[in-house]
Chain A
Amino acid sequence: DTAVSQTPKYLVTQMGNDKSIKCEQNLGHDTMYWYKQDSKKFLKIMFSYNNKELIINETVPNRFSPKSPDKAHLNLHINSLELGDSAVYFCASSQDSRYEQYFGPGTRLTVT
């Protein structure tokens, strides 16, 4: 069984559209994260979510919003997509904030 899964794996869309990326973890972890990896492979945390507490990286535009229907899921919604949003987005989870993180396979978002 895949520990952390993301759908879709690839997402191609046009500027101005709204899209979502889904993430699920079956590890029973309490904390989930979203990361963005740009073309230079720089990995940057966007959000973390623990027991319904959302902590936002202040550099993330408010067009990005995470939504957690339950502890096993943390979906990423992106409104009014821009060219600069093109990147690979990784979901991750950990037992709590001090433990190692398990990453999903990534979603490659291309905005045209």
Chain B
Amino acid sequence: LAKTTQPISMDSYEGQEVNITCSHNNIATNDYITWYQQFPSQGPRFIIQGYKTKVTNEVASLFIPADRKSSTLSLPRVSLSDTAVYYCLVGDFTGGGNKLTFGTGTQLKVEL
């Protein structure tokens, strides 16, 4: 299983760019990297997914270096509403996903 490591917490201010890095040294060839956002008392919500290089959507960017042993979620110009826990998920989605491994999550706190 690909074990993942994330910072436990990060603090930022509104309008800043936030980068959260996830380490996954033993990522397997078939593994994708997915990031989720979770607010208190809610289920996680999909943010972005990638396999290699860079992926961008309307809310975030995901940077994956060539060796794929880490990934960085980039949130541009955060606001108070981005305060949440962010999870890195690495896994082989084939075969039902029983090898999915969530990181411990990073609590992002955004202040004025």
Contacts and interface: CB of A to CB of B under 8 A. Distances in A.
Given A90-B43, A103-B43, A43 B97 contact: no
B98 A105 contact: no
A101 B42 CA distance: 14
Nearest to A49: B96
A83 B99 CA distance: 26
Contact of B96 (A53, A90, A100, A102): A53
B105 A97 contact: no
B5 interface: no
A56 B98 contact: yes
A43 B105 contact: yes
Interface range, A side: 20 to 34
Interface range, B side: 20 to 34
A55 B96 contact: yes
Interface in A40-55: 40-45, 47-50, 53-55
B87 A43 contact: yes
Nearest to A90: B43
Interface of A: 4, 31, 33, 40-45, 47-50, 53-57, 90, 92, 97-106
